[in-house]
Amino acid sequence: MWRFLESVDRRWVFLLVAVAVIVPTLLPFKVPMPISNSTQLAYDAIEDLREGDLVVVSLGYGPSSQAELQPQAKALLRHCFRRGLRVFLMSLWPDAPPLGDEALQEVVESDEFLDSTTGQSRLRAGVDYVDVGYRPGLDAVILRMATDMAGFFETDARGEPLGSLPIMEGVRGFDQVALVVDLAAGDSADYWIIYGNGRYGVDVAVGVTGVIVSQMYPFLDSGQLRGLIGGGVGAAEYEALVNAPGSGMKRVSTLSIVHTLVIALVVLGNVIYLRQRRAEGEAT
């Protein structure tokens, strides 16, 4: 057996890795999902809100980060609607609005929120949620909406006057916002921490890509963040918390198989190498 393993064509290894990726993707399965404290805190921040509270969901990502942050957005929106919260969806990246609309429509039109008598969603645009689309400027946007959200955005993504929508009744600025959740692939989270929380005292939670999650932990430890969802694993954790398996948990299932295989191959390769060294030493 060892001689066979020593001489096996590396292309078989590539094929084995491909199978390990393809099969779990086509036939997903559940894996144990321990929940990190940071994701649990983000979930608890939503749980602590009262029915009817307004949550601002800010999108600061594009297609390049869709794999990690889109599942976060869907799980978060589902959680908000289950809790009876009003959702104010906005975009701080120019290519985020189509992703936000796709996530919003998928959740709103899912079976969970369909009225069995009419076959239509129980969630109503302008009443339970509003999408105001993209506005440029990051810090300028946050500063302007702090005291006059309807006046700054003027209309929603459908062109409806924002101030006339029932969801905005009694809403002036951050004083009427219960929580901001920023899903970020860049520095929009920093601006929400500095201005949203630091200057105006609004509670902020964030979901970020895996490469920048370590930068957010100091803000979580200091209390400037209510919660932190980290990358694709954080998305899978949030899906598990809301009991709504999606692409996040599917991706984690695939990665668990692939990582296990890669570790096994690395260990096996080292064993083969050490055996060869030992045989060479005995020969001399």
268 with 170, same domain: the answer is: no
- Is residue 276 included in any domain, yes or no? yes
185 with 218, same domain: the answer is: yes
- Is residue 30 included in any domain, yes or no? no
264 with 159, same domain: the answer is: no
Q: DSSP secondary structure string, 20-40?
A: HHHHHHHS------PPPHHHH
From the centroid of its chain, how far is CA 217? Answer: 16
* Structural domain for 62, as ranges: 35-244
- Is residue 71 included in any domain, yes or no? yes
128 with 193, same domain: the answer is: yes
pLDDT tens for each residue of 2-51: 676 667 777 877 787 887 777 776 766 666 778 999 999 999 999 999 99
Check residue 15 and give its pLDDT: 82
CATH no. for residue 121? 3.40.50
Task: Name the nearest CA neighbour of 166 among 123, 131, 128, 122.
Answer: 128
Q: Is the pLDDT of residue 75 over 70?
A: yes
Q: Which residue has the tokens 């393809």?
A: 22
68 with 161, same domain: the answer is: yes
> What's the predicted TM-score (pTM) here?
0.84
**Backbone phi, then psi, for 171, in 5-degree steps?**
-100, 120
69 with 159, same domain: the answer is: yes
Check residue 19 and give its pLDDT: 79
240 with 262, same domain: the answer is: no
**Total domain count, the chain:** 2
- Is residue 250 included in any domain, yes or no? no
Interval 251-276 mean pLDDT: 77
Indicate the SS3 state at residue 269: helix
Burial zone of 221 (CB within 10 Å; 0-12 exposed, 13-18 middle, 19+ buried): exposed
Interval 91-98 mean pLDDT: 95
Check residue 167 and give its pLDDT: 96
| Angle at 198 (CA atoms; ends 239, 128), nearest 5 degrees | 45
12 with 125, same domain: the answer is: no
Interval 106-123 mean pLDDT: 91
105 with 190, same domain: the answer is: yes
Check residue 270 and give its pLDDT: 83
Rounded to the nearest integer, the mean pLDDT of the chain is 89
- Is residue 157 included in any domain, yes or no? yes
154 with 274, same domain: the answer is: no
Check residue 6 and give its pLDDT: 67
12 with 141, same domain: the answer is: no
- Is residue 138 included in any domain, yes or no? yes
- Is residue 81 included in any domain, yes or no? yes
Check residue 116 and give its pLDDT: 81
Contact 52, 84 (CB under 8 A): yes
Task: Name the nearest CA neighbour of 236 among 258, 253, 211.
Answer: 253
